[in-house]
Structure 1
Amino acid sequence: MKAVLVICVLSVIVSSIHGRTMDRCTLAREMSALGVPRDQLDKWTCIAKHESSFRTSVVGPANSNGSNDYGIFQINNKYWCQPADGRFSYNECKLSCNALLTDNISNSVKCAQKIQRQQGWKAWSTWKYCSGSLPSISDCF
């Protein structure tokens, strides 16, 4: 019995370290439940696929300006979130960058929507893969 408990605890710890890898439909359903309009979900899932391979815990390598990108939508720490190391950030989403790395995607979704409202879809460099015709998301519901 103790062995089973230890294995359960370890699997929770490992999953929190490595984050969650979602799939297209899981992301679409969770975003819809958070109030994201269904007619945008094909675009958001495409961005997440190309930015992070649907992984919630990704921190991208340093950009040319020394900043990093966080989470499933690879949100930049110079402008949108506060890095843990105290570096300057405009922190427009008013949250810690670590809040973008959790399995609960609500902070990532809210911040990504703010970016999209202010800068449009082209705020993501991967938009070039998502700006054309995309597969319907309706098969996810």
Structure 2
Amino acid sequence: MPRRVNMKPAVILAVYLAICYVTEGKRFERCEFYKYIKSGLDGYMGYSAANWVCLATHESGLNTMAINNNNGQSSDYGIFQINSKYWCNDYKTAKAVNGCGILCESLRDDNIANDIECAKKIAKQSGGLSAWVAWKKFCKGENLSKYTAGC
């Protein structure tokens, strides 16, 4: 009688590797990020692209894979550090709202189109970039020319 082979471990490994491949992140160079967002965010709600570059630089280091745990209450994901309590679903945060209607993990890949759309929604519903602590601390009212210089 032929011996039965358990395929379950192989299937689990294949799914895991597929997820790892799909969620490959990216660390943007400053000018690369500026050029990418210039058409989608420059001038949105009156904020220059330099404001968005400053925000992302201080929130994530321009790293789409960034994740920050907020004392176990929620986490921030992706290049704009979008919060799981209000804007995305990480299946871990209690009483999450998911205002952008997306999975938090989708904010950690190298395609930042959904990150940009969610960031726009946050800015619009929260009255601007003050929704981000890093923007208030490092960017608001500052000369932001260094974030776009040479680009």
TM-score normalized by structure 1? 0.78
Residue identity in the other structure for 2:85: K
CA RMSD of aligned residues (A): 2.3
Say if 2:145 is the partner of 1:139: no
Structure 1 segments of 4+ aligned residues over 4 angstroms from their partners:
13-18
User: Displacement, 1:24?
Assistant: 1.4
Partner-residue secondary structure (3-state), 1:139? coil
Letter in 2 for 1:31: I
1:38-49 map, 5 Å:
40-49=48-57
Matches within 5 A, 1:76-91: 76-85=83-92, 87-91=94-98
Aligned pair count reads 126
Q: Distance in 2 between matches of 1:139 and 1:15?
A: 33
Q: Which residue of 1 aligns with 2:10?
A: none
> 1:92 matched to which residue of 2?
99
Q: Is the 8 A contact 1:82 1:88 kept in 2?
A: no
> Is the Cα–Cα contact under 8 Å of residues 56 and 102 in structure 1 kept in the other structure?
yes
Residue 113 of structure 1 deviates from its aligned partner by: 1.1
User: Structure 1 residues 15 and 139, CA, compared in 2 at 3 Å: closer, same or farther?
Assistant: farther
Matched residue of 1:60: which SS? strand
1:57 aligns with 2:72: no
Secondary structure (helix, strand or coil) at the match of 1:113 reads helix
**How has the CA–CA distance of structure 1 residues 46 and 84 changed in structure 2, closer, same or farther, with 3 Å as cutoff?**
same
Deviates more, 1:73-82 or 1:15-24: 15-24
1:15-54 residue CA offsets vs partner (Å, 9 max, x unmatched): 8666211011111111124x22256210010011111101
Match of 2:38 among 32, 36, 55: 32
Task: Report the Cα offset of residue 99 of structure 1.
Answer: 1.1
TM-score scaled by structure 2? 0.73
| 2:109 aligned with 1:102 | yes
State the Cα deviation string for residues 67-102 of structure 1 (Å, max 9, x = none): 000000100000000114474311100111011011
CA contact (8 A) 1:22 1:54 kept: yes
Aligned partners of 2:85 and 2:93 also within 8 Å = no
CA distance, structure 1, for counterparts of residue 110 and residue 94 of structure 2: 25
Structure of larger gyration radius: 2
- Greater share of strand residues, 1 or 2? 2
